[in-house]
Structure 1
């Protein structure tokens, strides 16, 4: 018996299903079944009702199957079909084809090819569109994750570069464990070590005589204080005295301590020797020096100011407003403090100081706003007494013009003194207004207060004497 006869007997043994039910079996066993004849034309098609996404494909019948394939799938199908028809014993192998329909709709299907004697090739396919959608979703998620990782790496790079480039010694400390999470080179070198050596170690170990619990309690207290407050410590490795200024911030829900480290050394400008020198200069200066708070209340004054104010001791002037010792009072003080607060300093403001007993002395006042480590310490003022020889050289001094003086002199002998005074009052008035405008830095409101005029009256006189030009009116 030949091999062909044995195969025929094996196929004929038992009972085969009803041919009428084969269509239902094919429909249920695959998502799509396509019968392609010997010429490559679709002779029949069946789409499972479980795959509504494929839609109705009845219009494929009578048309070439390859006309509904992409160019890459067309080559794959042609090669596999040629292989199937050329070798009847070829084992069916799956092939994935991408279909196109109506020029826009594209969907992948995984087919197995089965030769049907006398009819062509039967393609049983499984819709791969759900799988493709899952793969695309995974691909998008992976790409989004890669973008996030790139952004994180970029942000970490920026952070590292800025931290290292900063000249301010800084360390990031975990508030719970007290360990250094990160530290820049400036801080590590100030403490006599390297960043890699200090990172991960207890912050308290970098300083002498400090237990971790005690040190972290002091750091937490300084960070929670309403005002800027530091903790003075001594570096263990080099013995330097430093101040640690901590502050809390939150990152990704975690609380972190940012600690700025400043050097405190006797050789440093902020050390005791320098402080003593400043104190000696303050006491021995021949110019009057006054320290006030932000509102102009006197906090301290040197001996030269006490002499100028005819005060016996500091308590006679302390806690009083500096305006009490200025001839124009609150007007002078307001102009000085506002100018110093705005620009940081003010130089050579002409004023008069009145003493406790009522004497007056002309002075030139210089002022500066005092700040230290971000805190406002008020104002410092230097009052230098002026002599008559200083007046002509005073900056911005207003003098009567020669023409005005000549006009006044020409009137002598032609009118009474009363008429002369009346005729020259305009000259004096103009000179006073110009002086007030210059002293106040062209501040019209302050000039009006200084002259005892309303603002409207001052504007009228400014226009009368041509002092108020078109530019200043705006």
Structure 2
């Protein structure tokens, strides 16, 4: 191509359009002119390169590439791009791809293109690839967990195709239920796995589950067996279409699991939520277990803060209190209401009563019940509060008002007191209070309105009921 008629201004515009930075290099490798084609190159500080050697403006690993670019001759047949890194004034590096062309007067024209956009694209591509790999690994872990759950489930679990009703997969529980140790179940029609009399009901179950998308259940029997089983089916969808997840549970095993009561479990649950503090220790006083109320008394947040610790640590008189308790319990004599104080984790003291018994197991144990005396004192004080005597000034009314009015006011006061006491005892249950007072609910609500104890809404709601 002939560019002899190309003006210098036009060439400069063309160069600025096809490159991000252009350098005119002298024969000694010194930068004589700099031109940048985009604003983003301003951060590189290209204008400060004027008068410097080009090789001094790059990082150490790029110096060899600069030497190769400076060695370009006018008759060089193939010009190669070189990746060069420039240090940024603010830190970091800027990647630029250069090619050099020999000019007249032993000068070189270096044309550079910024690799920032390409590096950003590569970085995003790497991040996307890493994210996909993490998602794939997470899905593999989920699949492995569900595969283990599927294989180890004691119930019979089967995967059934929603169109052909063919068995796709069966776990070990299903093989044991159908007495099929091999893989002959896979590929069979699921409806053939139940008694002919139950096939219509099972097929209706599958159709309903597919239509509603909910878990559906029915009862069926196995071929040659009178044992009823519960069949539940749910639908999930994959790329290959909808499939059924079918679970089959023998009815007898299902009911026995709910009817059998483990006394040890019930006792353990009872002691865990006992309203008083409860501790289990060995004969040396080492705490083996503590319930929630016991932890609250001692100011603990976890049972591990007390388990393994000596009970003496929590008693205000330490070895003295433990000696009294241990002496009685070792003789298998129950301890009742032993008054002492305990130290909480925060250092406070709390008055308590301790009762205990001896358990003659293979490993003898002490069961200690700890009761907060402050709580009991508050309850006693609340119960012993003197009730107001509405008749204290009754004698002062004699002579001022007729006896008929005095008696009427007295009856009203007694009625009000009885109603308020009944409501307090029944925790504001109006039906129970009416029954306790021997009144109908309507009569009770009339009196409540008369004494201003209930609102108009309460009366209306009861009347509507």
TM-score normalised by L of structure 2: 0.47
TM-score normalised by L of structure 1: 0.46
In terms of Rg, which structure is larger? 1
